[in-house]
Amino acid sequence: MVQKTYRIAVVPGDGIGMEVTPEAIKVLDRVAELSGGAFGFSYTSFPWGSHYYLETGTVMDEGGLETLRSFDAILFGATGWPTVPDHVSLYGFRLVVCKGFDLFASVRPVRLFRGIHSPLRNGTPETIDWIMVRENSEGEYSGIGGRNLGSRGDGKELAIESALFTAEGCERIIRYAFEIAATRPRKHVTSVTKSNAQQYGMTLWDDCFARIRAEFPEIGADQVLVDACAARMVLHPESFDVVVASNLFGDILSDLGGAIGGSLGIAASGNIDPLRRNPSMFEPVHGSAPDIAGQGIANPIATIWSAAMMLEHLGESAAANQIMNAIERATASGMVTRDLGGSATTADAGDAILHALEGNDG
Ligand code: NAI
Ligand code: MG
Q: Compute and round to an integer the Cα radius of gyration of the chain.
A: 20
SS3 290: coil
Q: State the pLDDT at residue 154.
A: 78
Residue 18 has pLDDT above 50, yes or no: yes
Q: State the pLDDT at residue 206.
A: 98
Across 210-239, average pLDDT? 98
- Residue percentage of the chain with pLDDT more than 90: 94
The tens digit of pLDDT for each residue in 165-194 reads 999 999 999 999 999 999 999 999 999 999
Ligand 1: residue of 98, 251, 264 to mutate (most ligand atoms within 8 A of CB) is 264
Q: State the pLDDT at residue 19.
A: 98
Q: Which of these, 93, 109, 116, 72, lies nearest to 328 by C-alpha position? A: 116
Q: How confident is the model at residue 231 (pLDDT cuts 50, 70, 90)?
A: very high
Compute the distance between CA of residue 327 and CA of residue 336 in angstroms, rounded to an integer: 10
| Residue 311 CB less than 6 A away from ligand 1 | no
- The closest residue, in CA terms, to atom 6 on ligand 1 is 289
Across 340-350, average pLDDT? 97
Q: How confident is the model at residue 359 (pLDDT cuts 50, 70, 90)?
A: low
CATH superfamily, with its number, for domain 1-109+263-362: Isopropylmalate Dehydrogenase (3.40.718.10)
DSSP H helices in 289-358? 301-314, 317-333, 346-357
Q: How confident is the model at residue 362 (pLDDT cuts 50, 70, 90)?
A: very low
DSSP notation for 147-198: EE-STT-TT--EEEEEEE--HHHHHHHHHHHHHHHHTSSS-EEEEEE-TTT-
Q: Where along the chain do the CATH 3.40.718.10 domains lie?
A: 1-109+263-362, 118-261
| Residue 253 CB less than 6 A away from ligand 1 | no
Q: State the pLDDT at residue 361.
A: 44
Q: Specify the ligand 1 atom closest to the Cα of 16.
A: 18
Q: State the pLDDT at residue 153.
A: 77
Q: Are 326 and 356 in contact (CB under 8 A)?
A: yes
Q: State the pLDDT at residue 122.
A: 85
The tens digit of pLDDT for each residue in 74-86 reads 999 999 999 999 9
Q: Are 335 and 342 in contact (CB under 8 A)?
A: yes
118-261, CATH topology level: Isopropylmalate Dehydrogenase (3.40.718)
| Residue 289 CB less than 6 A away from ligand 1 | yes
